[in-house]
C-alpha cells in the first residue's frame, strides 16, 4: 500500500480527552475516531488490527472444537422476559421500540438468543457437547465509557456458549475454553492470567477472568508471580483428552490469583513476599459455567441416555477484541508510539523513501516493495513528498515491526537501512539481505 494513496489520518498533537496512553496513541496513529460518547469508527489501520486479532481468536476457538455462527445485534425483548433478565439487566441495556411498538434491544450478550436457537433444534444428548460462538458487536450503555475502546459502549465481543448433558461434560467444555484462551492471549503477545472471579449478572458458580497486568487497568488483582512464566499449552493439545485438559487447568489454577471481589487475604499472605503481585489489571476475557440458569426457565432440554428430559448445562465465554487493541498498546509502546507485536501489526513493514523523486531511491523502493509483497509481506510504502523527519516520526508512531529506510547515501554503497521498531536496532544491508531478514 502506498501511503500517498492510503487513508492514515494521524494527529500531531496529543488529544486532550485521552487519559491513558493507548487511547492517546489510537487517536494519534489514526486507528479510531469517536463518533458519539463511547462509540467509535475503526479507521483503516485500526480495522486491520481488529481483523487480525479476531482471526487469531477465531483460529483458537475453532481449534478447540467451537463452531462459528452469526447472531444479529438486535434482539427481541420477549426472549429476555423468558429468562427474567429483561428487567434485571437495568440501564446498561439499550432498549429500542420498532414502528409496531415492539420492544427490541441492542444485545449486550447472547445467552438468551443462543439458548433459543439451541432449543429449536437439539433434542438428544447424542448431539452434545456443542459449543457455538460468534464475533459480533455488542452494546452496553456503560455509565462511564472511557479510555477509548477499552471501555466503550459499542464494542466487539467473541462470545461462545457451551451445551452439555451434565456437569462433568460442562466442566470439560469449560476447560477447553480455558486452554483456548491461554493460547489466544499468548499468540497476541500478552501474558494473561486466569483469576478466580465473580460471576456478576450472568450468574453461576465457576468463573475465571483473564487479566493482563497494567497500571491503567480498572481491576485490582492479586496473584503469584510465577504465573507470568507458566508454559502455554501447545498447538497440538488434544482437546478431547478430558484428563489432559483438566491437568492443564489444575496447573494454571494451582497458585493464588484473584480479583478484588474474590480476594482472600489469608491465602495471599501465604505467598512468599518476593512472589506476591498486587497490581492493577485489564479484564480481556471471562469464562463462566452457570449450569441450568437459562436452560431451566427457557426449557432447553434434551433426552438423556435414561430416556428422560434434562435441562442442558451451559457455560459462556467472552473475549473483547476491541478492548484487546487498547490492552496490547498499553503493554507495548514507547515514547515515540505503538510497537505492534508481529502477529497483529496492521502492516509488517514501513518502507520509507527518504528522497522521493530520486531515481535510485525510487527504483530501490519499487524493488523492495515488489520483493516483499510477492512474499506475502504487507508493506506500507511512505512515498509521500515529506521531510524525512516527519516520515520517521510517522513510522515510529504507527509502530509496524520493521522499517526500511532507503536514502541516496547508503544506496550509493548498495545498502538500505533495516530498523526493528521494538529494539531500535539498525542494520545496513543489501536489498536482498533486507528482504531475506524479514521474509
Ligand atoms: P467489565 O468488568 O470490564 O465491565 P464485564 O465483566 O462486564 O467487563 P463480560 O460480560 O465478562 O464483561 O464480557 C466479556 C468481555 O467483553 C470482557 O472480558 C471484555 O474483554 C469485553 N468487554 C466487556 N465490556 C466491554 C466494554 N464496555 N468495552 C470493551 N470491551 C468490553
Ligand atoms: Mg461490565
Ligand atoms: Mg468484569
Ligand atoms: Mg466479565
ipTM of the complex: 0.99
What pLDDT score was predicted for residue 72? 98
Which conformational region is residue 43 in: left (phi greater than 0), alpha (psi within -120 to 50 degrees), or beta?
beta
Mean pLDDT of the chain: 96
What pLDDT score was predicted for residue 28? 98
What pLDDT score was predicted for residue 422? 98
Ligand 1 neighbourhood includes 217 CB (under 6 angstroms): no
Encode pLDDT of 65-122 as tens digits: 999 999 999 999 999 999 999 999 999 999 999 999 999 999 999 999 999 999 999 9
Residue 108 CA: which ligand 1 atom is closest? Answer: 10
- Dist. CA 283 → ligand 3 center (Å): 6
Distance in angstroms (rounded) separating the CA atoms of residues 323 and 217: 11
Parallel/antiparallel/unpaired status of strands 67-68 and 130-139: parallel
Ligand 1 neighbourhood includes 157 CB (under 6 angstroms): yes
What pLDDT score was predicted for residue 390? 97
Which grid cell is 375? 512474499
Residue appearing with cell numbers 512464566: 229
Give the rounded percent of residues in the chain with a pLDDT score beyond 70: 99
Which conformational region is residue 363 in: left (phi greater than 0), alpha (psi within -120 to 50 degrees), or beta?
alpha
| Ligand 1 atom 23, closest CA | 320
| 22, 31, 34, 235, 342 from 53: Cα distances, Å | 16, 14, 21, 17, 11
Contact 331, 214 (CB under 8 A): yes
Identify the band that residue 202 occupies on the pLDDT scale cut at 50, 70 and 90: low
User: 391: Cβ–Cβ under 8 A, 6 or more apart, which residues?
Assistant: 352, 354, 382, 384
Q: Is the pLDDT of residue 201 over 70?
A: no
What pLDDT score was predicted for residue 314? 97
Which grid cell is 285? 476475557
Nearest to 134 by CA among 107, 113, 159, 109: 159
Which grid cell is 253? 489454577
Q: Is the pLDDT of residue 20 over 80?
A: yes
Identify the band that residue 197 occupies on the pLDDT scale cut at 50, 70 and 90: confident
Ligand 1 neighbourhood includes 318 CB (under 6 angstroms): yes
Identify the band that residue 205 occupies on the pLDDT scale cut at 50, 70 and 90: low
What pLDDT score was predicted for residue 344? 98
3-state secondary structure of 89: coil
User: 287: Cβ–Cβ under 8 A, 6 or more apart, which residues?
Assistant: 174, 177, 178, 181, 207, 208, 210, 315, 316, 317, 318
What pLDDT score was predicted for residue 199? 72
Ligand 1 neighbourhood includes 285 CB (under 6 angstroms): yes
Question: What would the mean pLDDT of 42-63 be, rounded to a whole number?
Answer: 98
Burial class of residue 400, CB neighbours in 10 A (0-12, 13-18, 19+): buried
What pLDDT score was predicted for residue 206? 87
Which grid cell is 130? 456443542
Distance in angstroms (rounded) separating the CA atoms of residues 227 and 219: 18
Contact 315, 174 (CB under 8 A): yes
Encode pLDDT of 158-190 as tens digits: 999 999 999 999 999 999 999 999 999 999 999
Ligand 1 neighbourhood includes 208 CB (under 6 angstroms): no
| Ligand 1 atom 27, closest CA | 151
Q: What is the pTM of this model?
A: 0.97
Contact 160, 69 (CB under 8 A): no
Q: Is the pLDDT of residue 271 over 60?
A: yes
Distance in angstroms (rounded) separating the CA atoms of residues 62 and 113: 21
**H or E element at residue 416:** strand 416-420
- Dist. CA 186 → ligand 1 center (Å): 19
Ligand 1 neighbourhood includes 415 CB (under 6 angstroms): no
Residue 142 CA: which ligand 1 atom is closest? Answer: 27
What pLDDT score was predicted for residue 209? 96
- Dist. CA 283 → ligand 4 center (Å): 7
Residue 288 CA: which ligand 1 atom is closest? Answer: 11
The strand pairing partners of 221, in sequence order, are 259, 279
Ligand 1 neighbourhood includes 284 CB (under 6 angstroms): yes
What pLDDT score was predicted for residue 198? 77
Amino acid at each position: 500500500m502506498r501511503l500517498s494513496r492510503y487513508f492514515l489520518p494521524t494527529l500531531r498533537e496529543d488529544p486532550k480527552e485521552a487519559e491513558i496512553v493507548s487511547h492517546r496513541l489510537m487517536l494519534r496513529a489514526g486507528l479510531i475516531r469517536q463518533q458519539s460518547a463511547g462509540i467509535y469508527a475503526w479507521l483503516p489501520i485500526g480495522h486491520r488490527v481488529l481483523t487480525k486479532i479476531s482471526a487469531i481468536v477465531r483460529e483458537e476457538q475453532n481449534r478447540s472444537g467451537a463452531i462459528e455462527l452469526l447472531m444479529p445485534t438486535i434482539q427481541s425483548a420477549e426472549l429476555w422476559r423468558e429468562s427474567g433478565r429483561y428487567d434485571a439487566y437495568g440501564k446498561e441495556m439499550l432498549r429500542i421500540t420498532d414502528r409496531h411498538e415492539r420492544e427490541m434491544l441492542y444485545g449486550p450478550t447472547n445467552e438468551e438468543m443462543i439458548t433459543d436457537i439451541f432449543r429449536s433444534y437439539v433434542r438428544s444428548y447424542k448431539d452434545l457437547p456443542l459449543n457455538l460462538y460468534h464475533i459480533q458487536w455488542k452494546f452496553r450503555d456503560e455509565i462511564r465509557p472511557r479510555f477509548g475502546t477499552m471501555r466503550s459502549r459499542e464494542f466487539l465481543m467473541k462470545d461462545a456458549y457451551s451445551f452439555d448433558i451434565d456437569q462433568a461434560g460442562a466442566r470439560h467444555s469449560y476447560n477447553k475454553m480455558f486452554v483456548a484462551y491461554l493460547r489466544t492471549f499468548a499468540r497476541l503477545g500478552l501474558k494473561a492470567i486466569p483469576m478466580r472471579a465473580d460471576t456478576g449478572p450472568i450468574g453461576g458458580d465457576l468463573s475465571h477472568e483473564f487479566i493482563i497486568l497494567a497500571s491503567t487497568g480498572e481491576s485490582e488483582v492479586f496473584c503469584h508471580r510465577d504465573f507470568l512464566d507458566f508454559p502455554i499449552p501447545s498447538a497440538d493439545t488434544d482437546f478431547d483428552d478430558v484428563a489432559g485438559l483438566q491437568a492443564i487447568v489444575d496447573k494454571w489454577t494451582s497458585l493464588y490469583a484473584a480479583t478484588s471481589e474474590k480476594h482472600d487475604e489469608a491465602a495471599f499472605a501465604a505467598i512468599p513476599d518476593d512472589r506476591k503481585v498486587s497490581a492493577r489489571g485489564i479484564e480481556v476475557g471471562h469464562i463462566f459455567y452457570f449450569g441450568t440458569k437459562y436452560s431451566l426457565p427457557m426449557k432447553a432440554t434434551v433426552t438423556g441416555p435414561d430416556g428422560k428430559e434434562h435441562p442442558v448445562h451451559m457455560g459462556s465465554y467472552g473475549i473483547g477484541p476491541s478492548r484487546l487493541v487498547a490492552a496490547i498498546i498499553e503493554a507495548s509502546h514507547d515514547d515515540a508510539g505503538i510497537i505492534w507485536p508481529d502477529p497483529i501489526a496492521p502492516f509488517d513493514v514501513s518502507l520509507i523513501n527518504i528522497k522521493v523523486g530520486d531515481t535510485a531511491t525510487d527504483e530501490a523502493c519499487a524493488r523492495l516493495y515488489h520483493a516483499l509483497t510477492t512474499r506475502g509481506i504487507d508493506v506500507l510504502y511512505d512515498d509521500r513528498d515529506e521531510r524525512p523527519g516527519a516520515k520517521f516520526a510517522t513510522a515510529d508512531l504507527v509502530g509496524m515491526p520493521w522499517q526500511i529506510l532507503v536514502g541516496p547515501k547508503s544506496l550509493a554503497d548498495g545498502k538500505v537501512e533495516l530498523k526493528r521498531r521494538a529494539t531500535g536496532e539498525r542494520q545496513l544491508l543489501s536489498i536482498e539481505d533486507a528482504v531475506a531478514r524479514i521474509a
